[in-house]
Amino acid sequence: MRARYVLMCILVAAFGGTQLRAQNQQIDRNTPFPPHTVIGNVYYVGTEQLASFLITTPEGHILVNSCYQSTVPVIRAAVEKLGFRFDDIRIVLGSHAHGDHMEGDALVKEFTAAQVMAMEQDVPALRAMRPGGKAHPIDRVLRDGEEVKLGGATLVAHRTGGHTRGCTTWSLKAEDAGRSYDVVIACSVGVNPGYVLVNNKDYPEIADDYVRSFKVLRSLPVDVFLGAHGAFYGLSGKHARLGSGGPNPFIDPGGYKAYLDLQEKNFYARLEEQKRAAAK
C-alpha cells in the first residue's frame, strides 16, 4: 500500500491532478475482457468497457476500433490469444472520432502497416487527435454508404452522425453453420451530458443528424447487434451465456430495437428540454 501511495504522489507531482485522473480513467477502461467468437469470422477483442472487433479473412484482418493508444497492447494480446497474428491486420476502421475509440490508430498502423480509414465528417477531429505528438494517419476517406472489402468480407459504412459528425455504424454479413447473418456494429446515438442540441454554433445540424441517424439505424437489417461499447448490447451478460448449449446470445434483433427505442426517447426528451430553455 505504501509503495502504491508513493507512486501516486510522484505521478501527481509529475503530471498534475487532471492528467492523473485522465490516466486512471484510461487504466480502468482498459481492463481486459475475455476475447471470444461473436459469430462466424467476427471476434471480440476489446476491454470490459471499450468494444473492439476483429473481422478475419484469408487475406488479412480488419480491426474496428483501436480505442485509446494505451488500449492497443490489450487488443493485441486478445487477438493473439484467439490464435491470430496482430501483424495480419490490414485495415483499421473506427466508430467515431473520440479518443476512447480511435486514438490508437497511429500505433496500430505502426505495428501492422494497416490502412486507416475514416468517415469524411470525422476527419478534422481525427487530425487533431495526436497522442504523443503523432500525426493521425488517414489513408482513405470514406463517404456514407461506401464499402470496405478484404478477403471476401464487405463492411458498409453508414454515417449516423450526431454523437460526432462522422459517427459510423458498420454493417456486414457473417456466415455461421451454413447460414448468413446481418451484423451491425452500431455507433453511439447517445446524447452525452453537455451536448447542445439547440442553437449549437459549432455543430448547427446536430439535432437533424440525430433524427436522420435513428431513421438510418432502424432501416438496417439486423440479426447480430454489436456496438462501440459493450454496454450498448449487453456484452457481459451475453458472453456469460456463451457455450451454455442455447442459441447464440449475440443474435438479438429485439435488443437492437430496444436500444434504439431507449436512445431515441432520451434524445427527444433532451431536445424538448433544450427547446423550452431556449424559448425563455
Q: Check: CB of residue 126 under 8 Å from CB of residue 101.
A: no
Pairwise CA distance, residues 96 & 165, whole Å: 8
Pairwise CA distance, residues 193 & 210, whole Å: 15
pLDDT of residue 245: 83
pLDDT of residue 134: 87
* pTM for this model (two decimals): 0.90
The predicted-structure confidence for 42-91, as pLDDT tens digits, reads as follows: 999 999 999 999 999 999 999 999 999 999 999 999 999 999 999 999 99
Pairwise CA distance, residues 219 & 224, whole Å: 15
In terms of DSSP H, where are the helices of the chain?
A: 2-15, 17-29, 72-81, 99-102, 105-112, 123-127, 206-219, 235-241, 253-279
Question: Considering Cα of 76, then 79, then 80, then 85, what sign does the dihedral take?
Answer: negative
The predicted-structure confidence for 90-117, as pLDDT tens digits, reads as follows: 999 999 999 999 999 999 999 999 999 9
The predicted-structure confidence for 213-229, as pLDDT tens digits, reads as follows: 999 999 999 999 999 99
Q: Is the pLDDT assigned to residue 176 strictly greater than 50?
A: yes
Number of H helices, E strands in the chain: 9, 12
241 conformational bin, left if phi > 0, alpha if psi -120 to 50, beta if neither? alpha
Longest CA–CA separation in the chain, Å: 60
Q: Is the pLDDT assigned to residue 16 strictly greater than 80?
A: no
pLDDT of residue 252: 98
Q: Is the pLDDT assigned to residue 179 strictly greater than 70?
A: yes
What structural domains and CATH numbers belong to the chain?
32-279 (3.60.15.10)
Q: Is the pLDDT assigned to residue 21 strictly greater than 50?
A: no
| The total number of residues written for the chain in this structure | 280
Q: Is the pLDDT assigned to residue 27 strictly greater than 90?
A: no
Q: What is the DSSP code (8-state) at residue 16?
A: -
Pairwise CA distance, residues 55 & 150, whole Å: 10
232 or 246: which leads in pLDDT: 232
Pairwise CA distance, residues 56 & 60, whole Å: 6
pLDDT of residue 25: 62
pLDDT of residue 28: 82
Which cell numbers in the block locate residue 208? 437533424
Percentage of residues in the chain having pLDDT higher than 90: 86
Average pLDDT over residues 254-263: 98
The predicted-structure confidence for 116-168, as pLDDT tens digits, reads as follows: 999 999 999 999 999 989 899 999 999 999 999 999 999 999 999 999 999 99
Binning pLDDT at 50, 70 and 90, where does residue 23 land? Answer: low
Which cell numbers in the block locate residue 53? 472487433
Which cell numbers in the block locate residue 274? 433544450
